[in-house]
């Protein structure tokens, strides 16, 4: 009874990239100040839950290097607020870098198997298909789906 939830906890992070793609695509393509920060906060919470509940995969040297590079990129973006003429924009871009780091860390906790890769790719494909179909419908039937231009 106690181990039934383990498959769900271990595979749940694999649908996060597809869900983020889908959600952020319909929130000003994820470039707005609130959408990316909210997504980073949500993924951070999911990462904390994942670390607390599930068995974690061993982290490889390559993952440490890639994660360190992503973290350095996010930190550099945040530090650019010190010399930028638009510190607010640098912080918004830092949110995006932080989101990259958190999604990478979340996916690094999952064992790398062909079945997990299939699940990840299916989620991404499904999200891309929905976004593309919504874009097509907005062009073919503009009265049915309206697009706000900012």
What secondary structure does DSSP assign to 72-89, as a single string? HHHHHHHHGGGT-S-HHH
Whether residue 149 is contained in a domain is answered as: no
Q: Tell me which H or E stretch contains 57.
A: none
Whether residue 132 is contained in a domain is answered as: yes
Inter-axis angle of helices 16-25 and 33-53, nearest 10 = 160
Say what the pTM is. 0.85
Whether residue 150 is contained in a domain is answered as: no
In which domain, by residue range, is 28 found? 6-140
Residues of the chain with pLDDT under 50: 1
Whether residue 145 is contained in a domain is answered as: no
CA 123 vs CA 118, 126, 127: distances in Å:
9, 5, 6
Whether residue 102 is contained in a domain is answered as: yes
Instruction: Using the structure block, give the residue that is written with the tokens 């900012």.
Output: 150
Whether residue 147 is contained in a domain is answered as: no
Whether residue 146 is contained in a domain is answered as: no
How many Cα atoms are found within 13 Å in the side-chain-facing hemisphere of 88? 3
Greatest extent of the chain over all pairs of C-alpha atoms, in Å: 57
Q: How many CB atoms lie within 10 A of CB 16?
A: 21
Whether residue 1 is contained in a domain is answered as: no
Domains identified in the chain, total number: 1
């Amino acid at each position: 009874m106690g181990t039934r939830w383990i498959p769900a906890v271990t595979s749940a992070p694999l649908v996060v990239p597809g869900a983020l793609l889908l959600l952020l695509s319909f929130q000003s393509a994820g470039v707005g100040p609130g959408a990316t920060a909210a997504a980073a906060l949500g993924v951070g919470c999911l990462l904390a839950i994942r670390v607390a509940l599930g068995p974690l995969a061993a982290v490889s040297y390559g993952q440490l290097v890639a994660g360190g590079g992503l973290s350095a990129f996010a930190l550099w973006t945040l530090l650019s607020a010190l010399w930028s003429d638009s510190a607010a924009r640098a912080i918004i871009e830092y949110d995006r870098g932080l989101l990259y780091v958190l999604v990478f860390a979340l996916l690094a906790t999952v064992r790398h198997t062909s079945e997990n890769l299939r699940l990840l790719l299916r989620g991404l494909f499904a999200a891309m298909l929905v976004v593309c179909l919504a874009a097509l419908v907005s062009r073919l039937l503009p009265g049915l789906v309206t697009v706000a231009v900012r």
